[in-house]
Structure 1
Amino acid sequence: MSAPSSEEQHDLKKTRVVFVKWMKPPLGWFKLNTDGSSIQQRKVAGGGGVLRDGFGNWVVGFSIGFDFRSSVFAELSALRGGLIIAKSLGIKKIVVELDAKVVVSLITNSSKTKKSINSTVMDCKNLLQGFEEYIIQHTYREGNRVADVLAKMGSYQVDKFLIHHHYAPPNPETSFFFALDNMNVVTARGLKS
């Protein structure tokens, strides 16, 4: 094995490592993690998410499938679906976390949006205003793994909205990531500086 070239060493110096883990919301709050997924070759998309309480317990999960429009639309649709579920459960305080920075920006800023997603952005903003308190924030993919698995499930169930009320994850892969989250497992992520 040879030593890294000077170019490789330079690239390594430009990379910084962050440690990511899913964090429980404060007691009395709930956390909604959502994600979108798209399979452009099949022209389908999906979304999914999970709602957990202040102890990290599974409250409800969901997965939804729909026709592909854009990855941003998939992310927004998943967020809207999760917020609707949270409102229907009477939740008052919610932390919303997703791994799409662009969606966090669309929801938290008052800038104009593309006409194709404007109504979905407005739906999400209006739903959030119905909570007593809310926080919306970005997380890295490693902090959003359960929602990612549920979103991928959604992309295979076109035009179906499934609620996972099992009080536990619906399949082994989701269960695995859910367990890692509750054990506070930290994942290292390299970021380009």
Structure 2
Amino acid sequence: MSVFGVKSMVLNLLQEWNRMLKDKEVGHKIQPIGAVRKWSRPAEGWIKINTDAACKRGCDHIGIGCIVRNDMGSFVRARSSAVRGIFHPREAEAISLKEVLPWNKEWTNSKCIYETNSKFSVDAIYGTRGKSYFDTIMDDCVELFKHFEQVLVVFVPRSVNIVAHILAHVAYYESNLKELFINALEFIDCNLILEDY
């Protein structure tokens, strides 16, 4: 495992440990692994970026969605775009993360938590990678992570990734890249509320 992998895994475990302690202090039940969770704010000084990809059989492109929120849980920006090509779902999820990193790097190199509902991607980042196309994409992601102060990549269930999922599907109906700043569109606002409950 790389130095990045070890450091990121330790930071991820520390964040989960602190979250468990906080839940215990305020009397929340600790949810079993695999339980449906809701989106949670990152620690102070961090931003959280949720990413997702959408593949449709017979389409010549995949959709990618991303939403960024700050440590107050407030909307920062979002993105919906299409990437030409026919990809398997595992590759599409990896591409969604890779495509978001340069965009994110343009406006911050802060402490970032990337959440994805692709367990394959998270396992590949922290584990040993092979020589497949998927592994090459993940190698590129690990290289791009070096441009950030600190990075965590976390697997979350789809229920925590609703807005990114919707934005990925928007790419099938809007052929141009859409970037949203400051004010979220109404449908994003509604789904942000749903993710919080």
TM-score range, shorter chain: 0.7 to 0.9
Q: Structure 1 residues 93 and 73 mapped into 2: Cα distance closer, same or farther (>3 Å)? A: same
How far apart are 1:81 and its partner, in Å?
Answer: 2.2
In 2, the alpha carbon distance for the partners of 1:152 and 1:45 equals 9
3-state secondary structure, aligned to 2:59 = coil
3-state secondary structure, aligned to 1:39 = coil
Which has the higher Rg, Structure 1 or Structure 2? 1
In 1, the alpha carbon distance for the partners of 2:164 and 2:128 equals 26
Partner residue of 2:184 out of 148, 169, 176: 169
Q: Percent identity?
A: 23
Indicate yes or no: 2:121 matched with 1:106.
no
In 1, the alpha carbon distance for the partners of 2:99 and 2:34 equals 33
How far apart are 1:171 and its partner, in Å?
Answer: 4.5
Partner residue of 2:164 out of 122, 147, 151: 147
The answer for the alignment partner of 2:150 in structure 1 is 133
The answer for the alignment partner of 1:88 in structure 2 is 106
| Structure 1 spans left out of the alignment, 5+ residues | 1-15, 186-193
Indicate yes or no: 2:95 matched with 1:77.
yes
- State the AA in 2 paired with 1:99: N
Q: Structure 1 residues 92 and 155 mapped into 2: Cα distance closer, same or farther (>3 Å)? A: same
Higher relative contact order (CA 8 A, sep 6+): 1
The answer for the alignment partner of 2:76 in structure 1 is 59
Indicate yes or no: 2:77 matched with 1:68.
no
Structure 2 length as normaliser, TM-score? 0.76
How far apart are 1:111 and its partner, in Å?
Answer: 2.2
Q: CA RMSD in A?
A: 1.9
Equivalent residue pairs, number: 164
Indicate yes or no: 2:136 matched with 1:122.
no
How far apart are 1:133 and its partner, in Å?
Answer: 1.1
- State the AA in 2 paired with 1:95: I
Partner residue of 2:194 out of 144, 158, 180: 180
How far apart are 1:177 and its partner, in Å?
Answer: 1.1
Structure 1 length as normaliser, TM-score? 0.77
Indicate yes or no: 2:56 matched with 1:39.
yes
